[in-house]
Each structure stands twice: as structure tokens, then as C-alpha cells.
Structure 1
Amino acid sequence: MRILVTGASGFVGCHVVTALLEKGHRVTAVARDPQRASQAPWHGRATFLAADIHAPGCAERLDASHFDAVVHLAWPGLPNYAALTHLDRTLPAECRFLGELVRAGVRQLLVSGTCFEYGLASGCLNESTPSQPVTAYGMAKNTLRGYLEILQKSHPFRLQWARLFYMHGRGQNPGSLLPQLDAALAGGQPVFNLSGGEQLRDYLPVEEVATRLVALLEHPGFDGIVNICSGKPISVRRLVEEHVAAVGGSIRFNFGHYPYPDYEPMAFWGDGTRFYHILNDSLRYSEHPLTGKPCL
């Protein structure tokens, strides 16, 4: 397939472009910063196009007729989830850009959504859980999805809305939890400050996230929302303790130093059943995503 990927030099984008190339797809990678793109693992293997997708006329320049599908991963302003720019600047620009791509002929569009669309819902969250975002970022993403669903009524296309949960791995923002922990270990810091650590979250390695997004793209018959998640809750305490053990480090955790975030429930994780149903027998797994007990 001929695939256009936006946000190609970002954390998820780098891994998605690499995974697409490994599957034999022809990729045009779009990013704003040529210097950052030159350091991406896919550099020299994918066709690179430097572009600001929110600039007027960008969609026309990309010429959607050249591609079988678009993977849209770009979104500025993260990880500041509360910034109002997500709503008053990014959202209108996203609607304009993606709307122009669809009107120009894109027939399959995979967009990265977020678990923040679920808001403060607790427990195991499936795709039918009501969307009640409480952050500007979650609200902007959820509104963009609504816009695209309305657009489908006048311009038919496949919309694959992939709700990402938490990720970790190479290329992650240095301000994220595990990169900060690695920096503390490398610097020989004796103590690492955290929140209470009892909150339950859903984590996947970013390489697995990329693999699942590519697999979803390769099933163009699917249209709708799908969670990209592990389906297995893990406490932040256990996550950091296991990470330190895995890298052979030693550090004392100061749990309770920071308050728990007020924009997240104490316990939530994704239900991955729909993703496995989409893939059906195309991928083989050693175990059910919810350890044999899906919460439906």
C-alpha cells in the first residue's frame, strides 16, 4: 500500500513508519522539522516531505490521490493536556486539514485518538463507554472524531479511530515517567519522587502499539473506534519497581511526594477485545488480552 504518515518523526510516528516499511509498504513520511526527521530510524528508507500540515494549502500539496491510506499521528502541544490551544487552535486546523484530505479523495483514514476521551470513567473501558473528556486535549480529540463521523455522511471513507492508552519505549518524551526514572538511575540519584503509585494504568511498549496500528491499517474493512491497549491493569508502583529490576538498577522510591493527577481516575485500563476480533485469525497470540476474562 501507498501510505502517508503525518507526525512521522514523533514518538509513535517513528515506530509506525518503521513497522510499515518492514511490512513492505511504500511510505511518505511528513514532519515539520527536517533535522529531526534526519535522525529518525526510517530516514533514507521512506520518502520524506517537510510540511506544516496546519498551513493553508498543505492538504492540496500532499495530493491525496497518490495514497491508498493516511495515518494521522501529528498533534502539537503535548504533554500539556490542559492547554486551551488544543481547542482554539489545533482542533480547527485539524478539521480543516483532514477535511481537505477527505474531499481530495482519501478513502481510508487512521487517526490516533486517546484514552483521555473517556474522561474520569473507571475500571475496564471498552469502545462503547461514553466519551466524557475532562481535559482540553481529550475534548479536542473527541470533537475531531465527531466531526469526521459527520463528514463521512457526505464524503464516504473509512475512519479507523485508534484510542491509544499509555506507552513507553525508545524516543519517548524525556519528561515521561520511565525516561525520568532512567535519567535518575544513570545519574546515580539515591531517591526518585513519585505520586502514591497505587493508580492502575494500561501500558504497552511503543513497538507493540506500532505493530497494532499497522495491523489495523491492513484491515481496511474496519470502520470505527478501537482501543489500542494491553487490557491488563498495572499499578504505577509495580511498573517502576519492575523497570528498575529489569535494568539492574537500584534506587529508593519516595511514594506520595506528588499528588495524584486530578484529570485521571485512580483505576482504568482498556478492553482490547474489539481489536482481537478485528484481527481474528490474522495474528496469533499466546493469551487473551484480558487473561481470558474480557469485560464487555
Structure 2
Amino acid sequence: MKVLVTGATGFVGRHLVAALLARGCEVRAVARNAETAAQLPWINAVEFVAADIHAADLDFAALTDGVDALAHLAWPGLPNYQALFHFEHNLMADYRFIKGAVEAGVSQVLVTGTCFEYGLQSGPLSEQTEARPSNPYGLAKNTLRLFLENLQRQQPFTLQWARLFYLHGAGQNPNSLLAALDRAIEAGDDSFNMSAGEQLRDYLAIDTAAHYLAAILQQREFDGVINCSSGQPVSVRALVEQRLCERGASIRLNLGHYPYPTHEPMAFWGVADRLQQLLGAEHEA
């Protein structure tokens, strides 16, 4: 199986490429910056293409030649979830790119969506839960999904929409919680400022998430929305305390220093039943 991966040098992309290679897949990895790609351990094991997928003169035929599936991860501007450019630019640019790939003959497309498509709804969130995005990023992603589902009626293809929850691991945004905690540990700080930490979230290690995405891609008959999540609610405080334990670090948590974010509910997590059924089908195959 040959997979075209966009955003291949990003946080998720670099790990998905590694996961696909580990499964014996061929990978055509696409990213704008060849210098960044050259630093990654898999660079000599893939066909790398330096390209801007939103460019007006993109050669779709050449980019998709011989490809069985597209894994579309590229999405500029994260983690600024509130910016209007998500739907003013990214939405239509991504739709045009995916449509071009489908028209060029790609019959299977996996796109990474987001738990923010569910908006401010609390509790367990399944794929049957109505999408109610409440920020520009979630709105743009969910609208892209709706556009692509309409495109399927005109130009049939398999659409695998994987909603990512809270990922952590090597290459994560340096301003994310665990990355900031690691810096505080390494700096020998006495205390670490955070919220009260009672929020419940769905956390997934990036290596595990990449394994899940690769497994979804190889289940070529699957079409639809799927949560890429652990299915287990964990408090922010418990996550931080677990990392301190893993690092053997002793640092005082300054709980309540930051207020709770207003753009997220206090407790939500993904229902992972559909994902586990798909993984079970993979093991039986």
C-alpha cells in the first residue's frame, strides 16, 4: 500500500510516516520545508516531495501517481484555535486540494479532524454525537467534513474522518502543558504554575495515535467518522502528576494559578468503541 502523507513533518505527520513504514507501507511524504524533513529519521526510507499543497500550479497527477490513499494532516496555524483564517483560508484551500486529489484518481482519503468539532458538549462523546463546533478551528474542520461528504455524492471515494483528541509526545507544541512541565523540570524550578487541574480530558500518546491512524488507513473498507481517542477520562492534575512520577521529579504544583479555559467544557472524552472494533477487525484479518 502506498500512502501520500501531507504535513509529513508536523507533530502527527512525522509519527504517522514512521508508523506506516513499520507496517510495510510505501510513503510519499509531502511538506513545505525540505530542511526540516532532512532531520527526520525516516527521510531516506520515503519518497519526499517539497511542495505547498495549496499552490495554484500544483501538479496533482504527479503528486498522486501510484498512490493508494491520501492521509491529509496538513493544517497551518495551529494551535491558534480562535483565528478566523481557519475558515477564511484553510477550509477552502484544503477542500480544493482534496478534491483535486480525488479527481486525479485517489480513491481513499483519511483526514484528521478534531475533538473541537463537538464544541462545548460535556461527558462522553461518540461519533453519533452531533457536531456543535464553538471555535473557528472546529467550525472549519467540521465544515470541511460536510463539504467532502457532499463531494462523495458527485465523485465517489472513501472518506475516513479521524477526530483527534489530546495528543502528547515527542514534537508536541512547546507551549503545551507537558512540554512546559518538562522544561520546568529540566530547569530545576521549585514550582509549576497550572490551573486547578480538575478538568477531565482524553489524552493519547502520539505514538499510539499514529498506530491507530495507520490501522484505520489499512482498513480500506471503513468509511465515516471515527474518534482517535483513548476512551478514558483523565484529570489534568493526574496527567501532570503521572509525568512527574515518570521523570522522578519533585516540583510543587501551583494549582489554581491559571483560570479554567472558557473555550472548553470541564469534562469530555471520546467514546472509542468504533476504533476498538476496527482494531479488532484488523487483528482478525
Q: What range is the shorter-chain TM-score in?
A: over 0.9
Pick closer, same or farther for the CA change 1:100–1:281 going to 2, 3 Å.
Answer: closer
Aligned residue for 1:105?
105
Task: Provide the C-alpha distance between the structure 1 equivalents of 2:137 and 2:190, rounded to a whole number of angstroms.
Answer: 35
Q: Following superposition of structure 1 onto structure 2, how do residues 1-296 of structure 1 map, counting pairs within 5 Å?
A: 1-58=1-58, 60=60, 62-283=62-283
Pick closer, same or farther for the CA change 1:281–1:60 going to 2, 3 Å.
Answer: closer
Alignment deviations for residues 250-278 of structure 1 (CA, whole Å, 9 cap, x no partner): 11111111111111100000000011122
Alignment deviations for residues 203-243 of structure 1 (CA, whole Å, 9 cap, x no partner): 01100000000110010100000001000000000100111
Structure 1 letter corresponding to 2:239: L
Q: Is the 8 A contact 2:67 2:106 kept in 1?
A: yes
Q: Is the 8 A contact 1:53 1:59 kept in 2?
A: no
Task: Provide the C-alpha distance between the structure 2 equivalents of 1:266 and 1:200, rounded to a whole number of angstroms.
Answer: 6
Q: Is the 8 A contact 1:59 1:100 kept in 2?
A: no
Q: Is the 8 A contact 1:14 1:41 kept in 2?
A: no
Say what the alpha-carbon RMSD is for the aligned residues.
1.1
Corresponding pairs, count:
284
Pick closer, same or farther for the CA change 1:264–1:178 going to 2, 3 Å.
Answer: same
Indicate the percent of aligned positions where both proteins have the same amino acid. Answer: 55
Pick closer, same or farther for the CA change 1:275–1:258 going to 2, 3 Å.
Answer: same
Q: What SS does the aligned partner of 1:282 have?
A: helix
Task: Provide the C-alpha distance between the structure 2 equivalents of 1:269 and 1:19, rounded to a whole number of angstroms.
Answer: 24
Task: Provide the C-alpha distance between the structure 2 equivalents of 1:61 and 1:146, rounded to a whole number of angstroms.
Answer: 25
Shift of 1:66: 1.7
- What is the TM-score normalised by the length of structure 2? 0.97
- What is the TM-score normalised by the length of structure 1? 0.94
Shift of 1:41: 2.4
Q: What SS does the aligned partner of 2:282 have?
A: coil
Gaps of 5+ in 2: none
Q: Is the 8 A contact 1:228 1:275 kept in 2?
A: yes
Bigger drift between 29-38 and 54-63 goes to: 54-63
Q: What SS does the aligned partner of 2:283 have?
A: coil
Task: Provide the C-alpha distance between the structure 2 equivalents of 1:251 and 1:115, rounded to a whole number of angstroms.
Answer: 31
Q: Is the 8 A contact 1:108 1:159 kept in 2?
A: yes
Q: Is the 8 A contact 1:16 1:211 kept in 2?
A: yes
Task: Provide the C-alpha distance between the structure 1 equivalents of 2:13 and 2:280, rounded to a whole number of angstroms.
Answer: 25
Q: Is the 8 A contact 2:61 2:104 kept in 1?
A: no
Q: Is the 8 A contact 1:59 1:101 kept in 2?
A: no
Q: Is the 8 A contact 2:200 2:234 kept in 1?
A: yes
Structure 1: which 4+ aligned runs deviate by more than 4 Å? none
Shift of 1:32: 0.5
Q: Is the 8 A contact 2:30 2:49 kept in 1?
A: yes
